[in-house]
Amino acid sequence: MLPDTYYHGKRILITGGLGFVGSNLAIRLVQSGAEVTIVDSMIPNHGGNLRNIEKIETAVRVNYSDIRDHHSLKYLIRGQEIVFSLAGQVSHIDSMQDPFNDLEINCTSQLSLLENIRKVNPEAKVVFASTRQIYGRPQYLPVDEKHPLHPVDVNGINKISGEYYYKLYNDVYGIRTVSLRLTNSYGPRQDIRNRNLGFVGIFIRQAITGETIRVFGDGLQCRDFNYIDDVVDAFLQAGCDDACVGNSYNLGDHRHYSLIEFLKCLQQFVPLCYEVVPFPSEKKAIDIGDFYSSYELFHSVTGWEPKIALPDGLSQTVRFFQNNLHYYE
Ligand SMILES: NC(=O)c1ccc[n+]([C@@H]2O[C@H](COP(=O)([O-])OP(=O)(O)OC[C@H]3O[C@@H](n4cnc5c(N)ncnc54)[C@H](O)[C@@H]3O)[C@@H](O)[C@H]2O)c1
């Protein structure tokens, strides 16, 4: 069944729904006729932004609570049919500076969510947003799901633990769970303010505001990218297709780009200047070198594949932020 038809009338909870991925997912679900509840704590310096849901604000229920609050979670998941677990501490640098905060949000709270689902709503299905960072520095490319997990930072360790809890609750309690390991996702509504996040948002903001972009290393390190509409499609597919239950899947793209190639692509849509500079030590310590992943497994199970090429996605992203910069600075 097409995901958009499947979600009509479904009761959906999105944790982290005021952030980048969560708000784009909420917009698509509302357009599909789903009943959407968002839970988000709007912690400062995370990606939550009320502007993100401006066009659906009267069509969604927003609950401003923290997923670390075990008791409000119990209330929020009652009656929900699908839970998209997207609330997260997303900065790798911050996970090294405040590891217990990352542990609470990315690991302990995931266990708490699962315990509540087990006790009050075991029929609910859960899709968890994991990350490619759990693989660490690749031993081979493209990285598939058989690749060893050797995270290079606290965030990667906590995300693995989160994933393992989802798998365990599926295997032991029969709760239907799926984890998607996101690679660099980009697009409208992403957090471009936070300097401790990945390079994509930073490069886009610096290009649009006319700052000189600083590329660390030699700029030849490779990455793959998914435009947000493709990421949302993947979440919708994972939520509606029970064939993928009980597993973790990479997202990814057909092709990869060096950071310099990424900038050259961005330059087609906004004038920019950049300089190549040595890595700051705290970033070098957790850098993963070249990375791109294989999404073949998820494709074979669900048919999902990315449709938006980087130039098209960047063109739409630049246009969005040029028109809305005020709300995202
Ligand atoms: N965007 C990417 O490229 C990417 C890559 C890998 C993994 N992910 C994962 O996808 C998920 C969504 O990422 P995003 O890019 O939308 O991030 P984001 O920062 O834009 O959104 C996260 C949202 O979670 C909320 N949140 C954080 N802690 C919370 C808490 N304790 N209680 C309630 N809400 C809380 C924030 O306020 C924010 O609105 C995250 O779990 C992240 O680890 C994203």
- Residue having the nearest C-alpha atom to atom 41 of ligand 1: 88
pLDDT at residue 329 greater than cutoff 90: no
Rounded Cα–Cα distance for residues 18 and 86 (Å): 10
Helix axes 228-240 and 20-31, enclosed angle (nearest 10): 60
Please state the pTM of the whole predicted model: 0.97
Mean pLDDT of 311-329: 96
Residue 187 has pLDDT above 90, yes or no: yes
Helices (H) and strands (E) in the chain, counts: 13, 13
CA angle 133, 63, 41 (to 5 degrees): 45
With 70 as the cut, is the pLDDT of residue 276 above it? yes
197 pLDDT more than 80 = no
Whether the link from the prior residue into 142 is cis, omega within 30° of 0, is yes
- What confidence score (pLDDT) does residue 240 get? 96
Residue 193 CA to ligand 1 center (angstroms) comes to 14
Closest approach atom of ligand 1 to CA 46: 19
Cα 129 to ligand 1 centre (Å): 8
Contact 136, 152 (CB under 8 A): yes
The residue nearest atom 13 of ligand 1, judged by CA position, is 21
Interstrand relation of 82-85 and 257-258 (parallel, antiparallel or unpaired):
unpaired
Who lines ligand 1 at CB under 6 A? Answer: 15-16, 18-22, 40-43, 46-48, 66-68, 86-90, 105, 129, 131, 182, 184-185, 191
pLDDT of residue 2: 59
For 126-154, how does the pLDDT look when each residue is reduced to its tens digit (9 = 90+)? 999 999 999 999 999 999 999 999 999 99
In this prediction, residue 130 carries a pLDDT of 98
| Torsion angle in degrees (nearest 10) through CA of 242, 235, 181, 325 | 180
Kind and range of the H or E element at 225?
A: strand 225-227
- Whether 196 shows a pLDDT value over 80: the answer reads no
DSSP string, 55-103: GGTTTSEEE---TT-HHHHHHHHTT-SEEEE------HHHHHHSHHHHH
pLDDT, mean over the chain: 95
- If pLDDT is split at 50, 70 and 90, which confidence band does 285 have? confident
* Helices 154-173/109-120 angle, 10° precision: 20
Q: 95-108 pLDDT, tens per residue? A: 999 999 999 999 99
Atom 29, ligand 1: residue with shortest CA distance:
87
Residue 88 Cα, ligand 1 centroid: separation in angstroms?
Answer: 4
User: In the chain, what are the helix, strand and coil shares in percent, each to the nearest 5?
Assistant: 45, 15, 40
Lowest mean pLDDT among 82-91, 137-146, 277-286: 277-286
The strand pair at 222-223 and 274-277 is best described as unpaired
Give the distance (Å) from ligand 1 centre to CA of residue 3: 23
pLDDT of residue 1: 52
Q: Whose CA is nearest to atom 12 of ligand 1?
A: 86
Q: Give me the mean pLDDT over the 245-258 stretch.
A: 97
Rounded Cα distance between 140 and 113, Å, is 34
Ligand 1 centroid vs 236 CA: distance in angstroms?
A: 17
